[in-house]
Amino acid sequence: MSIRMSTMNCIVRLCSTGLLLVVSLSTTSAQIIRAGIKAGPQLSWVTVDDPKYNAVGKVHPIPGFHAGAVLAFKVKDRYFLNTEYIYSQKGKNVTGKIDPNLNDKVIYRHIDVPILFSMYFKGKFLKTREFKWYINAGPNISYWLGGNGVIEAGDLIENGIPALKYKIAFGTRPDHNDPDILYIKDAKRLQFGMNVGGGILLEPGGNQKVLIDFRYEIGHTQIGNAGSSQFLIPSDYQDNMKGRNKGIRLSLIYLYEFSSDPKERNKGKSTINKKK
């Protein structure tokens, strides 16, 4: 119970920090606000920093998805500052070099709070139809919630287990039971990184905005140490957590634009009252 409360407190602080940073960085004159939702697929992997691991296994990308909320503030003209609050699936797929039967597919669950500075440009499609496109960049704050995976290995086959499903727990293994739980000690659950990307802005009408967004995430924090985790079975394979999350993300974003200026919100009301 205390672990769950601690996780919830970290998530609340993470989201609050992102919101406070965006509000404090945006100027007081910024009155245009965009709020909405986003979702889409992503492809993630882990860049292992331990050169010894290269002889053990090869890391491949693994598909996942993300979804969450978006809040953006107009700073000036074509510049926006925005933050996002996203549930994100990251992970990796490891195939063995020493053990040809090794295949470890694992999904890590994260809460991501990217803070992005965006710059918009005008473009034309077929020289007639105008649209807007943008580039963005900024830091990413991420909190590691947990994860689960499926592993195949020669040691498992010898014990009559074709594949072992497991879930991730943080901390030191208390005993030698529960082979379906992978304990990770010294995990760095609060992680920092960088996002760069861009996309296309479509304006179907009114205050509605639709964005097709592409993002590249570059993790800075190592998610653990070389000996942070170990399976009970297979006993001859040790996952190496000394690496950084990376990935590419494609999103469909829907935003509604409104003004925080009371004069803009009340525009037209005085005219209506006079008519009455």
Which run of H or of E encompasses 109? strand 103-125
Q: What is residue 6's predicted lDDT score, i.e. its pLDDT?
A: 58
Q: What is residue 235's predicted lDDT score, i.e. its pLDDT?
A: 85
In this prediction, residues 116-136 reach a mean pLDDT of 87
Percent of the chain with pLDDT over 90: 63
Q: Which of 63, 148, 149 is nearest to 102 (CA)?
A: 149
- The token duo for 75 is 């700073």
pLDDT digits 0-9 by tens, 241-260 = 999 999 999 999 999 998 87
Percent of the chain with pLDDT over 70: 82
267 compared with 171, residue with greater pLDDT: 171
pLDDT digits 0-9 by tens, 25-54 = 544 444 899 999 999 999 999 999 999 888
- Residue 154 reports pLDDT greater than 70: yes
**Would you give the distance in Å from CA 43 to the centre of its chain?**
11
Q: Which of 102, 103, 94, 99 is nearest to 60 (CA)?
A: 94
pLDDT digits 0-9 by tens, 187-231 = 999 999 999 999 999 988 889 999 999 999 999 999 998 878 878
What pTM value is reported for the model? Answer: 0.82
Domains and CATH numbers, the chain: 2-275 (2.40.160.20)
How many C-beta neighbours within 10 Å does residue 105 have? Answer: 17
CA dist 168 → 61, 107, 186, 229 (Å): 19, 10, 13, 10
Q: Which of 80-89, 176-185, 189-198 has the lowest mean pLDDT?
A: 176-185
Q: What is residue 128's predicted lDDT score, i.e. its pLDDT?
A: 67
- Residue 103 reports pLDDT greater than 90: yes
Distance separating alpha carbons of residues 115 and 272, to the nearest angstrom:
41
Q: What is residue 14's predicted lDDT score, i.e. its pLDDT?
A: 59
Q: What is residue 266's predicted lDDT score, i.e. its pLDDT?
A: 53
Q: Which of 92-106, 117-131, 254-268 has the lowest mean pLDDT?
A: 254-268
Q: Who contacts 82 (Cβ-Cβ below 8 Å, separation ≥6)?
A: 22, 34, 70, 71, 72, 73, 115, 116, 118
Q: What is residue 274's predicted lDDT score, i.e. its pLDDT?
A: 45
